[in-house]
């Protein structure tokens, strides 16, 4: 089996016609075509030298623009004009949807608590907000983490108990108004 040689550029259009009689669009990782001499690193000789975050025996030659870690020539690569480590590059190339979701997280437990506590000040709105808060507690209980920081689900429990109390109290008031029941 013949193998095609590596191209000299990271992005090549119509590559491989001489080998497979088919055109290929190739987008190579820059480290694949980097010369081997550039990735050789010598061991740290002095105790005061900075070492690579990932390789403790190799000297640090660059600073990762994403993570801020000291990295050696083996770990260093270029991405969109930035010097990055492979670990930082992997996080940069992660799914954009996951990155957007990490930056923004709806805290449903706080919303449920707010829907139960604040409307008490305004009275009649509780008739609408208490069932909504109870619904949020039931639906979002098992939906996943309540925030990016690990928090327990006690807020759901408190919001659900307060919502049940408000619904019950509202039911008693409705019964008193329509049926003339006195307490």
Last residue of a domain, one of 77, 104, 131: 104
Same domain, 167 and 135: yes
Q: What is the mean pLDDT of residues 148-152?
A: 66
My answer on whether 18 and 59 are in the same domain is no
Is this structure's pTM higher than 0.85?
no
SS3 14: strand
Residues 58 and 96 in one domain: yes
Domain identity same for 25 and 53: no
First to last CA, the chain: 92
Are 126 and 119 contacting, i.e. CB atoms less than 8 angstroms apart?
Answer: yes
- Both 138 and 160 in one domain: the answer is yes
* One domain, residues 47 and 28: no
- What pLDDT, in 10s, does the model give residues 119-138? 888 877 888 899 999 999 88
In the prediction, which pLDDT does 97 show?
45
Looking at 104, 129, 153, the residue that finishes a domain is: 104
Q: Which residues contact 151 (CB under 8 A, 6 or more apart)?
A: 109, 145
Give how many domains the chain has, as a whole number: 3
Last residue of a domain, one of 85, 104, 123: 104
* Same-domain pairing of 27 and 45: no
Higher pLDDT, 32 or 104: 32
6, two tokens: 């590596």
31-83 pLDDT, tens digit per residue, is 777 665 544 555 544 556 788 888 888 888 989 988 888 999 888 988 888 88
> Are both 77 and 111 inside the same structural domain?
no
Name the DSSP class of 18: H
8 Cβ partners below 8 Å, 6+ apart?
33
**Domain extent at residue 143:** 105-179
β 70-71/62-63 pair status: antiparallel
154 and 111 within one domain:
yes
Instruction: Give the count of beta carbons closer than 10 Å to the beta carbon of residue 60.
Output: 21
My answer on whether 140 and 95 are in the same domain is no
Residues 84 and 141 in one domain: no
Question: Same structural domain for residues 90 and 118?
Answer: no
Alpha carbon separation from 13 to 9, 127, 153 (Å, rounded): 10, 65, 53
Closest by alpha carbon to 30, among 91, 83, 71?
Answer: 83
Q: Which residues contact 72 (CB under 8 A, 6 or more apart)?
A: 41, 51, 52, 54, 55, 58, 59, 60, 61, 62
């Amino acid at each position: 089996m013949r193998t095609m040689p590596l191209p000299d550029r990271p992005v090549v259009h119509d590559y491989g016609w001489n080998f497979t009689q088919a055109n290929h669009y190739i987008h190579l990782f820059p480290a694949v075509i980097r010369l081997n001499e550039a990735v050789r690193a010598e061991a740290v000789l002095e105790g005061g030298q900075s070492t690579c975050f990932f390789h403790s025996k190799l000297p640090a030659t660059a600073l990762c623009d994403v993570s801020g870690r000291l990295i050696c020539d083996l770990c260093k690569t270029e991405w969109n004009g930035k010097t990055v480590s492979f670990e930082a590059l992997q996080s940069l190339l992660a799914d954009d949807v996951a990155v957007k979701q990490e930056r923004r997280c709806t805290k449903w437990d706080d919303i449920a608590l707010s829907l139960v506590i604040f409307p008490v000040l305004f009275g009649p709105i509780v008739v609408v907000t208490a069932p909504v808060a109870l619904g949020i507690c039931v639906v979002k209980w098992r939906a996943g983490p309540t925030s990016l920081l690990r928090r327990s689900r006690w807020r759901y429990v408190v919001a659900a108990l307060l919502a049940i109390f408000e619904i019950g109290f509202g039911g008693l008031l409705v019964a008193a108004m329509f049926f003339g029941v006195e307490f």
